[in-house]
């Protein structure tokens, strides 16, 4: 009997040893936190010591629901204040929380071009998943230092005459677009994106706190112009939680930075353009989060670090050094003002951060001056360094003339008698205002801009009636393209107004002026403008047939403008 017992004991021992040898599951320890409280998209979490600021946390809701991501913002002594990036209503007290040991990041890669994504890099356009080949990139990183940069010296053409001539923007610059609601801020940004077609520029449009219908309208406009091929849209609409609206600009910048830092076969980085529409709504979302997190409020109830919110974002705009590939990120932040008050907290913050601002005025907009750029108080701190030599040559004195015109216009309103010099200045100013008007979503190539501004500043339009300026300019571009294409080609390729090109331009303007003044000439009539042989191609104007038709109907164009702002 004793022998049987010993046999059984040895058998059991052997079985146990065999099972132990076969056991290969690795043992590991992990920190598990617990949700103490959840309200208004904010979770208070106990435990998880060692959590990093802006680290992603994974909350496992009860009931087998999908894991919810949260972002750790408040690191307190015994708990963490985290904002929930998604549906916070499924999170309950007692739910388990785990660390990811990763700061907030998103997938990046060229596969995002032409797509609409949310701030987490997830597609929202119904075109399927995105297989990102560029890995993941942190959304909030330190901006490149001084040694890694070079001066801004390449133009970022917007296609808008008033901006390219008077307030030039360079690649790597930060230029604020500021104005009241409905004054054309989004239109200028979209024009700039459309104008980058064929320029090798990758564009990112970040929509913050806008209606879905508004975002869909912008996407449709970009698709109609063929601009979505090189554009990524990051959408955080008005119904999205405040945390998503808060991180949207950083996510858009991370996508743009991937292209800026990634070198091609020639060792060159890519020029990128990032539009933030608009940062006022991001600041409001950040204020909402901060108040719920019980951070101390400051001026206008914004938290004390709201300046840092925008400065660390916009400092990432840069023109990289040649050693870094020479890529660039140009930032066009948009700020909405209330009743033209640019002295409010957020507008003054962003004005002080950026390299210049484009002021859009309601009075100008409703008086028919569109784009409604107030040339007197708009400025670009990069200036002529961001212009081609041809534009610098022809537009040098235009801004001063326009500023003088605005002063004289107010003086002339009293009806007093004016001397001939003042009358000439007023006449030239009225024609300048008319020339700088431009239809929405019709960006103009820089060589055409140089030609019409040359005609303006050299007095060729002084004898043309102000009411006839739009027809004169419209047919002048057609005439140049069909009869003097060599002049335009010279400006486009050399980026200068050479003496030969200037002589050719003078001759073309003189001949065209005679044709326009001749009552028997078709120039200046609808017959000439609508001649299909003389019309620009879609490729020339970067416009689709739908947009060409829209531009031809002023009333439809105005309605579209009201919908898009």
What dihedral do alpha carbons 406, 412, 414, 418 form, nearest 10°? 150
Residue count of the chain, please give it.
565
Cis? peptide before 534, omega within 30° of 0:
no
With CA atoms as reference, report the closest residue to 45 among 7, 24, 72, 10: 72
CA separation for the pair 310, 255 (Å, rounded) = 17
CA 515 to each of CA 285, 462, 522: distance values in angstroms, whole numbers, following the listed order? 58, 16, 8
Query: 543: helix, coil or strand?
Result: coil
Structure tokens at 292: 């719920």
Element (H, E) at 314: helix 306-314
With CA atoms as reference, report the closest residue to 389 among 490, 510, 505, 459: 490
Give the active site residue among 381, 406, 492, 495.
Answer: 381
CA separation for the pair 228, 220 (Å, rounded) = 9
Asked if residue 62 lies in contact with residue 18, where contact means CB atoms within 8 angstroms, the answer is no
Element (H, E) at 252: helix 242-261
Strand segments, DSSP code E, in 15-142 are: 32-39, 42-46, 55-60, 68-75, 79-84, 96-103, 105-107, 116-117, 136-138
| Burial label, 386 (beta-carbon count in 10 A; 0-12, 13-18, 19+) | buried
In the residue annotation, 381 being an active-site residue is answered as yes
Asked if residue 360 lies in contact with residue 177, where contact means CB atoms within 8 angstroms, the answer is yes
| Burial label, 239 (beta-carbon count in 10 A; 0-12, 13-18, 19+) | exposed
CA separation for the pair 159, 225 (Å, rounded) = 14
Residue 489 DSSP class: H
CA separation for the pair 323, 114 (Å, rounded) = 30
Helix axes 469-483, 446-457, angle to 10 degrees: 120
Catalytic residues: 381
């Amino acid at each position: 009997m004793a022998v049987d017992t010993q046999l059984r004991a040895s058998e059991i021992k052997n079985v146990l040893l065999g099972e132990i040898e076969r056991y290969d599951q690795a043992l590991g320890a992990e920190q598990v936190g617990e949700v103490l409280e959840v309200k208004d998209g904010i979770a208070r979490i106990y435990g998880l010591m060692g959590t990093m600021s802006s680290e992603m946390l994974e909350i496992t809701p009860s009931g087998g629901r999908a894991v919810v991501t949260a972002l750790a913002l408040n690191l307190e002594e015994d708990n963490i204040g985290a904002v929930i990036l998604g549906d916070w209503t499924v999170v309950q007290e007692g739910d388990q929380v785990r660390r990811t040991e990763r700061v907030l990041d998103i997938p990046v890669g060229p596969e995002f071009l032409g797509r609409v994504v949310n701030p987490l890099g997830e597609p929202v356009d119904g075109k399927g998943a995105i297989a990102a080949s560029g890995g993941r990139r942190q959304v909030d990183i330190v901006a490149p230092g001084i040694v890694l940069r070079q001066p801004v010296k390449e133009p970022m053409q917007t296609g808008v005459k008033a901006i390219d001539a008077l307030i030039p923007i360079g690649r790597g610059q930060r230029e604020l677009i500021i104005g009241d609601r409905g004054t054309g801020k989004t239109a200028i940004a979209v024009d700039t994106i459309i104008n980058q077609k064929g320029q090798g520029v990758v564009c990112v449009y970040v929509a913050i706190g806008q209606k879905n219908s508004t975002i869909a309208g912008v996407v449709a406009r970009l698709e109609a112009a063929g601009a979505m091929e090189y554009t990524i849209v990051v959408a955080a609409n008005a119904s999205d939680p405040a945390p998503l609206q808060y991180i949207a600009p950083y996510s858009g910048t991370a996508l743009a930075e991937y292209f800026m830092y990634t070198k091609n076969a020639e060792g060159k980085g890519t020029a990128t353009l990032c539009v933030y529409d608009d940062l006022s709504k991001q600041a409001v979302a950040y204020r909402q989060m901060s108040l719920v997190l019980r951070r101390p409020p400051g001026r206008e109830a914004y938290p004390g670090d709201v300046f840092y919110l925008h400065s660390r974002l916009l400092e990432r705009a840069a023109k990289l050094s040649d050693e870094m590939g020479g890529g660039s990120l140009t930032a066009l932040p948009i700020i909405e003002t209330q009743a033209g008050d640019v002295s409010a907290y957020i507008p003054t913050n962003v004005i002080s951060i950026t390299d210049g601002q484009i002021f859009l005025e309601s009075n100008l907009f409703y008086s028919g001056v569109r784009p409604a750029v107030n040339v007197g108080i708009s400025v670009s701190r990069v200036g002529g360094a961001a212009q081609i030599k041809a534009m610098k040559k022809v537009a040098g004195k235009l801004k001063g003339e326009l500023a003088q015109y605005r002063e004289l216009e107010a003086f002339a309103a009293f009806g007093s008698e004016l001397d001939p010099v003042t009358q000439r200045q007023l006449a030239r100013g009225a024609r300048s205002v008319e020339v700088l008007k431009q239809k929405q979503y019709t960006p103009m190539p820089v060589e055409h801009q140089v030609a019409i501004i040359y005609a303006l500043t050299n007095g060729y339009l002084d004898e043309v009636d102000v009411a006839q300026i739009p027809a004169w300019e419209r047919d002048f571009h057609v005439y140049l393209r069909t009869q003097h294409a060599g002049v335009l080609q010279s400006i486009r390729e050399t980026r200068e107004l050479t003496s030969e090109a200037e002589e050719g331009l003078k001759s073309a303007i003189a001949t065209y002026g005679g044709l326009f003044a001749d009552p028997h000439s078709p120039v200046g009539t609808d017959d000439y403008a609508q001649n299909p042989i003389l019309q620009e191609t879609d490729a020339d104007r970067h416009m689709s047939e739908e947009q060409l038709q829209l531009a031809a109907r002023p009333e439809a164009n105005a309605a579209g403008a009201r919908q898009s702002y």
